[in-house]
A and B are shown apart, each in its own frame.
Chain A
Amino acid sequence: MSLKLITIFLIACAGLVHAEDGDAKLILIKNVLNSIITEGNDLMVQYTLYNIGDGAATDVNLADSSFHESDFELVSGMTSVKWERILAGTNVSHVVIVRPLKSGAFNFTSAVVQYVASEGSDTTFGMSNDLGELDILSLKEFKRIHASHLIEWGLFGVWCIPSIVLPYMLYYKSKSKYSLKAKKN
């Protein structure tokens, strides 16, 4: 009887230990938060890591080297970061802000993550989705659409003044003459 209980207890313990030692599996999603990407304006890139495995991922390193210094200026955030641990069933996110230096189409490629899936195993590599070619608007194009055009409207008003004011002056002159005549009468 006691031997049976001990056996059941040991099997239960083994089962418990085994369940906690599952492998981690990370999915990396790279996402651009901007609806418009413009040269000279900030671009927000968000990386989200989801652990869909059974165990915690340790020594997680995320690196994105697609933003070269010749094409982008790093405004805020680090492009290479690490987390000590990402527990099973949790997610973490990371934001990097860059500023495009050139306009035109740009191919946004994947970021890379490497992590240790379970204790003692080798490093696992993963890549994020690549966003493909996205169009970076030039600053001139962006201002044409979105800047407030007060100066343009002001100039328009100035050019309208001759064609409105001159006839009005003529009318005003004749009106004042006519009114004087009516008053006289």
Chain B
Amino acid sequence: MGFQRLINFAFIFVLFGGATANTCVQPTPSFSHYTSNNEKLSQSSAVVVEFTLKCKNKVDDLLLFADVEGTQIPVTKSPEGNNFQVSWTSSSLVQASKMYKVRFFDEEGYSNLRKAIRSSQDINSVKELFQVEFKHPGLSSKLWIRSELLALIVATIVFYVVCKERSEVIA
């Protein structure tokens, strides 16, 4: 009888312990992104992803990690803990437009990811909490020829035509 009670108590304890685990159930992110890629201003480019997260359960102090193209970055929070931000920079500009896929992991997922990396497994096999995708526009299409070069070309053509006519007259 006492033993049965103990089992019940242990079962309830495990149940509670599981319920207060620090993970987000059914996460729905609402995110915005920013990409900076202006070659006149800088030779580096920066990407910032900001988001807020809605979870089905109430989570305190959610710890998130992001995986971007094989690099893991910890996610920062606002002091109140509602807004999250991931940002990274690259030392060279992004030339062509591309799609960024950022996968977010909670603590457990992140430790699984680290294990997969250590044992050289495919990191795509680790299940993420959620992911966001967005397009990086790359360098904006610009005029191929600078206006000064175009002016120089036009002037050269005019000069050539005039010289030709002049030589015909002189000859």
Chain A interface residues toward B at CB < 8 A:
33-36, 38, 41-42, 44, 46, 61-62, 75-78, 80-84, 86, 92-97, 146, 148-150, 152-153, 156-157, 164, 171, 175
Cβ B151 vs Cβ A77 within 8 A? no
Q: How large is the interface on B (under 10, 10 to 19, 20 to 34, 35 or more residues)?
A: 35 or more
Question: Given A38-B41, A78-B76, A81-B78, does the pair A157, B89 have CB atoms closer than 8 Å?
Answer: no
* Contact mask for chain B residues 149-171; partner A; CB cutoff 8 A; 1 contact, 0 none: 01100100010000001000100
B165 touches A78 (CB 8 A): no
Instruction: Determine whether the beta carbon of B78 is less than 8 Å from that of A97.
Output: no
CB distance from B105 to the nearest CB of A (A): 14
Cα-based distance from A55 to B13 in the complex (angstroms) = 33
Q: Are A171 and B46 in contact (CB-based, < 8 A)?
A: no
Given contacts A77-B85, A78-B83, A84-B63, contact A94 B76 (CB under 8 A): yes
A93 touches B89 (CB 8 A): yes
Selected from B34, B41, B79, B83, the residue in CB contact (under 8 A) with A61 is B79
- B5 CB within 8 Å of chain A: no
Query: 9 closest A-B pairs (Cβ-Cβ)?
Result: A76-B34, A95-B87, A81-B76, A76-B48, A150-B147, A33-B44, A34-B42, A153-B151, A44-B46
Q: CA A75 – CA B34 in complex, angstroms? A: 9
| Given A78-B76, A93-B89, residue A42 in contact with residue B63 (CB < 8 A) | no
Which one of B44, B50, B85 lies within 8 Å of A44 (CB-CB)? Answer: B44
Q: Mark B49-81, 1 if CB is under 8 A from A, else 0.
A: 010000000000101000000000110111100
B50:A77 contact, CB within 8 angstroms: yes
B125-167 interface mask toward A, CB cutoff 8 Å, 1 = contact, 0 = none?
0000000000000000001001110110010001000000100
Partner of A77, one of B41, B48, B79: B48
Is B46 a contact partner of A33 (Cβ separation < 8 A)? yes
Using known A-B contacts A76-B48, A77-B85, A148-B143, determine if residue A92 contacts B74 with beta carbons closer than 8 Å: yes
Report if A95-B83 is in contact (Cβ < 8 Å); known contacts: A42-B41, A77-B50.
no
User: Does B38 make an interface contact (CB < 8 A)?
Assistant: yes
